[in-house]
Structure 1
Amino acid sequence: MAAPSCNAYKLRGFAVMAIFLVAFEAVFQRRSFYQRKKDAPESIPFERDTFYRFLNSCAIHWRKFTLILGTAIIQKAIAPLTSGARRNVLIIDDSLFSRNRSKKVELLARVYDHVSGTYMKGFRMLTLGWSDGNTFLPLSHCLLSSSSKQQQLQGASEDVDPRSNGGKQRKLAQCKVPEVVLTLLQEAREAGAPAQHVLFDSWFCSPASLHQIHELGYDVIARVKKSEKMHFSRLMASTGTSRSSSRCASLGKETRSISYDALTAHTAIVFARYMMLALEQRRNMDERSLGELFYLTIDELEDLHYLDALVSLLNLLMDCAKEAEILDEEQVNQLLDLFVAKLLNLWGKCLKQCA
């Protein structure tokens, strides 16, 4: 189980998995925890304080949780049905986690929105995802505040132990972006996420970052900044990456928590939902997972039409009746004629022609 590995456990009371599932299924129920507890209190066995203590816990390592979950999906559900020659990639991208109407959210900062070209209140959500060209899975993230205290609208809570997972997450949120990128990539490699390349856009691309990522064992495919100060002797590609993290949009609309731990937990839970939906979509839409067996089965069904199958069953029934000496041949034919007469006219004519 991933829960103990991520330091998510309880010594007494309700199981962690039971609390997690309530948070996980909230969006599918289309009701918040408060609304569900109010409308159907018997559907949730624990109280409000238990739920919010779970989300606000600084002990749980949420980045490790999503990494373990995503890697398990890749290795157990996707890789066995995928050619070993397919190139897997890790994708780094950022998107705006807006909290524009908030004032007291922990580590809230002024961040630049590349879409609108303005500064807004919120976080820069840095996402590390995995893709094989067909399926995208968000593996890890960090809600970046600002490394500049002047840009921070709220500081980190002083009550959190800096040695805890929540304390380390807060420290990472205030680091420079290249440092956070290397941390996420190193954790993905240690978790066993299979990938040969790292994709990102131009604002992550610098000579120092390229060298450091290459030392981790990855080749880089990125859009290079146009600059007279930098020269590259080898370019693998110059195309921009897709904004994969935007697929997990509207993150800020579901939660109104002001705790950084709760925001991190909420983002990880949304990632887990997305992984489940991505896997289900692949299973339902990817015909290649069945290979040639899928087409051979269709061809076999086309060769044996419904009426032919029905005639074969009737002939078998007649043979069995004769062998058992229950009815003679004349009685069997009379029974068959009676059966056909009871059918719809169209079916009866077709059966007589097939016979």
Structure 2
Amino acid sequence: MSTILPNSNENEKSNSRMLRFFTQAKIGTFLHQSNIHKEKGVSARIIVQFIFALVLHGMGFSRALESERIPKHFQKDTVYDLLKNPTYNWRKFLACVGSYLVIKYILPLTSKDRDRVLIFDDSLFSRNRSKVVELLARVKDHTTGRYFKGFRMLTLGWSDGATFMPLAFSLLSSKNVASRYREMDSKIDKRTVGYHRRQEATQKSTETMFNLLDSIHPKKLGAKTVLFDSWFAYPAIISKIVKNYPLHVVCMIKRSPKIHYTYEGESYTLNKLYKKVRKKRGRAKILASIVVGLGHDDENGNEIQARIVFVRDRNRSKKWLALLTTNLAHTEEDAIRIYGKRWEIECFFKVVKSHLRLAKEFQCQSYDSMTAHTTIVFLRYMMLSLSAREEEDPKTLGQLFYMCCDELDDLRFAEALMTILEVLGSMLAEECLLTDEQINEFLDRFFNKLPGFLRNPLLNPGAA
């Protein structure tokens, strides 16, 4: 664990992928800008680095604290005091880091003709064995249809179709008091960021969407479109995004008898619209498209228009799905292609849960602690995502994750062997009365005899 601890010469010399990422992403700077700091003791950057590296070392928090290489002043309370502080603005920190990486390292290498999108989706944040977690609620997992204890993790991310970067999230409880197992801590200062996040957790997800959008700058990120699935696809929500932000919307829409669209001066449900339009013959994948009104006006008083594209459901050939785009310049193929980028966030959820120990590494009871740890998990994904962008040969994020784990193991092995060689050199000087030149010549010959897979980590211990 010495590669993540303060006052370590190895730490200063090491050039591991993890430490390069902390430098690239300006973690220390953005922690300070987000009011995340320690008044005394170990700095906030070192603590974040310690938590960040746990999964790469294959260690749990308790086991890491038992390590003999951890200084005595680095205790359990040191970490938890940072995580549970309600005054720290973790959302601002994540948005700053994600936006900086996109603007600095990704946009310069992305063609201006390539579509950059913002993606909304939610996923289950399970705490099924917990009882006293703050704002714990009974939530439904939409993938299985079952109910669990936990939260809905509403996430906003950026993608160009090749790289996904998480920018903001909110752990949503339930608006219904009867569905919550525990209320918020009554001692929380109402002036703090933590209190406002707790208030937000009991809102509707469609209201929280706009809080997340307000935390970033879409124009600086080069994003022109927002993607989401049918859970958020209401005309009022779509119209509000188009009216208040410099963004278009592409989304899946649901067949609800309560949702109506305007066509030729009449109001229709989605099913009635499908019956009215003329379908293409044969086995066409795109069945039809139609321009409709959303029933809401823009800032000029004109009704907001959108194109609905009906496509064949590939899983059920006799059924159909409907996509909506507010950009009338989009062709039917454009709408389908751009919506396909939404799959990036599904892959993101899979990686953070399967590899990066989301909701598993710390069994926190404080809402602030869960928010802080989830932010650090998202940082881990950012490192993998940026590494995948920089790799010369294609690697999955899972492969990159295991490469990072192996890299830290190699660093610790190289450090241990270098220590042995230093002791050997001092022994040769003391016992054999050799000069420094003779010892260095002996060690050089020793290095040259080693096989390459041992010699390279020793000569360059930080090489990725």
Alpha-carbon spacing, 1:175–1:286, altered in 2? closer, same or farther (3 Å): farther
Q: Which has the higher helix share?
A: 1
- Partner SS for 1:189: coil
Residue 176 of structure 1 corresponds to: 204
Is the contact between residue 145 and residue 152 of structure 1 (CA under 8 Å) also seen in structure 2?
yes
Going by fraction, where is strand more abundant, 1 or 2? 2
Q: Which runs of 5+ in 1 are unaligned?
A: 288-355
Post-superposition Cα deviations, 1:299-328, rounded to whole Å, max 9, x if no partner, equal xxxxxxxxxxxxxxxxxxxxxxxxxxxxxx
Match of 2:349 in 1: 246
Counterpart Cα distance in 2 of 1:192 and 1:218? 12
Match of 2:251 among 196, 199, 222: 222
CA–CA distance in structure 1, aligned partners of residues 166 and 387 of structure 2: 15
Distance 2:94 2:375 in 1: 6
Q: How many residues align?
A: 287
Shift of 1:190: 7.3
121-130 or 80-89: which moved more?
Answer: 80-89
**Deviation for aligned residue 1:162:** 1.8
- 8 A Cα contact 1:67 1:191, kept in partner: no
Which of residues 252, 259, 264 is equivalent to 2:366?
259
Q: Deviations over 1:82-119 (max 9, x none)?
A: 11222210000010011111100100000011122111
Distance 2:223 2:175 in 1: 30
Q: Deviations over 1:111-168 (max 9, x none)?
A: 0111221111000000101101100111110000011111111100111112111111
TM-score where L is the length of structure 1: 0.77
With 206-215 and 234-243 compared, the bigger mean Cα shift is at: 234-243
Cα contact 2:156–2:169 (8 A) shared by 1: yes
Partner of 1:344: none
Instruction: Find the counterpart in structure 1 of residue 74 from structure 2.
Output: 46
Question: Residues 91, 257 of structure 1: CA spacing in aligned structure 2 closer, same or farther, 3 A cutoff?
Answer: same
CA contact (8 A) 2:61 2:362 kept: no
2:298 aligned partner: none
What amino acid is aligned across from residue 246 of structure 1 in structure 2?
F
CA change 1:113–1:160 in 2 (3 A) is: same
Contact 1:186 1:216 in 2 (8 A): no
- Using a 3 Å threshold, how does the CA distance of structure 1 residues 6 and 191 change in structure 2: closer, same or farther? farther
Deviation at 1:263, TM superposition (A): 0.4
Q: How far apart in 2 are the matches of 1:154 and 1:41?
A: 39
Correspondence for 2:47 among 19, 22, 35:
19
**Alpha-carbon contact 1:110-1:152 (below 8 Å) kept:** yes
Give the match for residue 121 of structure 1. Answer: 149
Deviation of 1:43 (Å): 5.6
Partner of 2:380, secondary structure, is helix
TM-superposed CA distance for 1:255, in Å, is 1.9
Residue of structure 1 aligned with 2:375, choices 262, 268, 274:
268
Are residues 1:36 and 2:64 paired?
yes
In structure 2, how many angstroms separate the alpha carbons of the residues matched to 1:286 and 1:191? 31
TM-score, normalising length: structure 2: 0.59
1:101 to 95, 105, 129: 129
Q: Deviations over 1:224-263 (max 9, x none)?
A: 1123441161222365732255232251222211111110
Decide which of 229, 246, 250 is 1:201's aligned counterpart: 229
Question: In structure 2, what is the Cα distance between the partners aligned to 1:32 and 1:58?
Answer: 24
Please tell me whether Structure 1 or Structure 2 has the larger radius of gyration of its CA atoms.
Answer: 1
Q: Which moved more, 1:107-116 or 1:77-86?
A: 77-86
Distance 2:117 2:149 in 1: 32
